[in-house]
Amino acid sequence: MTSELAVSARGLVKYFGDRRVVDGVDIAVPKGLIYGVLGPNGAGKTTTLRMLLGIIEPDEGTRTMLGRAHPREASDVTGYLPEERGLYPNMKCREAIAFMGALRGLPWAVGRKRADTLLENAGLGHAKDEKIRKLSKGMAQLVQLLGSVVHEPELLVLDEPFSGLDPVNQEKLEKLILGERDRGATILFSTHVMAHAERLCERLSIIAGGKVRFEGTVADARALLPMKAHYTPHHNVDGAGALLPRDAERENGSWRFTVPPDGIESLMVRLIDGGFGVSGLSIERPGLHDAFVKIVGADALKDQEEAA
């Protein structure tokens, strides 16, 4: 079983001063998957990733990475994009990428060659001989990301990789992550932005206040919430409201409400019998964002928006 896991941890705890910022985290990342660690700012995501990587030691708990006794023994087969970005500003892009590979044991000549291919595939072929300091912040971040995969790691750990990228570069990053997964790598990434997680994650953990509040697939998370109906009566939109569930909200000529526990059919029969008719009906499962709000609470999200 353990051999199927790229990362596994039990009961991780970390104190900063007397604050227990990671409070007993278990995590199991199956090999070959894209795994998300989601949570509001300050949840303990970065601290958890740093413990998993062996950059800091946990105060309690155990973890293994790629089967090694200490995660640092796996550093040559691991790639890492830290939350604080940084490359040497005077290095050219190709050299910066090859340099990051060399730090993980990749021969320079191989690194340079791969750097050219990686830059071309990312649409940055024109920047090979450009110095880092000449790049936009987002481009420099992409180059750093290429540097974290140049040695073709088995495991790629990305801390908030989408932060600081514009939508075009975010899309490039999504493609890059999918490409790495297709190559056979395991990807573990943190984010507080749900849209990327919803598209990319094959499994995820939601962390808040240093504890894991949810573990499962995106579909599992979304299934925590009831379906929503969007109903457009054919006649007398106002009148139909009297038959609808209490949470029904009027939206121009239609209504939105939670599908009742006994399903939508009997409600529709009552509406048709009442002469309101149906000119439109759709049923939607709420998205990961709504599931996230339910799991971590609206307050945590409000804190996050204020911090952003």
Ligand X SMILES: Nc1ncnc2c1ncn2[C@@H]1O[C@H](COP(=O)(O)OP(=O)(O)O)[C@@H](O)[C@H]1O
Residues that bind ligand X (CB under 6 A): 16, 21, 39, 41-47
Interacting residue ranges for Mg ion, rule: CB under 5 A: 45-46, 83
Q: How far is the CB of 250 from Mg ion (least distance, A)?
A: 41
Looking at beta carbons only, is 39 or 111 nearer to Mg ion? 39
Q: How far is the CB of 34 from ligand X (least distance, A)?
A: 19
Length of the chain: 308
Looking at beta carbons only, is 67 or 86 nearer to ligand X? 86
Q: How far is the CB of 92 from ligand X (least distance, A)?
A: 32
CB 208 within 8 A of CB 42: no
Measure the CA–CA gap between 177 and 189, rounded to whole angstroms.
10
Q: How far is the CB of 307 from ligand X (least distance, A)?
A: 9
Furthest C-alpha separation in the chain: 77
Looking at beta carbons only, is 41 or 121 nearer to ligand X? 41
Looking at beta carbons only, is 119 or 201 nearer to Mg ion? 201
Q: How far is the CB of 160 from Mg ion (least distance, A)?
A: 6
Out of ligand X, Mg ion, none, which partner does residue 21 contact, by CB within 5 to 8 A per kind? ligand X
Looking at beta carbons only, is 45 or 112 nearer to ligand X? 45
Measure the CA–CA gap between 250 and 242, rounded to whole angstroms.
12
* Nearest residue to the partner Mg ion, using Cβ: 46
Q: How far is the CB of 42 from ligand X (least distance, A)?
A: 4
In three-state form (DSSP H/G/I as H, E/B as E, the rest C), the secondary structure along the chain is CHHHEEEEEEEEEEEECCEEEEEEEEEEEECCCEEEEECCCCCCHHHHHHHHHCCCCCCEEEEEECCECCHHHHHHHEEEECCCCCCCCCCEHHHHHHHHHHHCCCCHHHHHHHHHHHHHHCCCHHHCCCEHHHCCHHHHHHHHHHHHHCCCCCEEEEECCCCCCCHHHHHHHHHHHHHHHHHCCEEEEEECCHHHHHHHCCEEEEEECCEEEEEECHHHHHCCCCCEEEEECCCCHHHHHHHCCCCCEEECCEEEEECCCCCCHHHHHHHHHCCCCCCEEEEECCCHHHHHHHHHCHHHHHHHHHHC
Out of Mg ion, ligand X, none, which partner does residue 42 contact, by CB within 5 to 8 A per kind? ligand X
Looking at beta carbons only, is 47 or 170 nearer to ligand X? 47
Out of Mg ion, ligand X, none, which partner does residue 188 contact, by CB within 5 to 8 A per kind? none
Looking at beta carbons only, is 84 or 273 nearer to Mg ion? 84
Q: How far is the CB of 206 from ligand X (least distance, A)?
A: 11
Q: How far is the CB of 159 from ligand X (least distance, A)?
A: 7
> Which residue in this structure is represented by tokens 């094959």?
202
CB 155 within 8 A of CB 104: no
Looking at beta carbons only, is 24 or 274 nearer to ligand X? 24
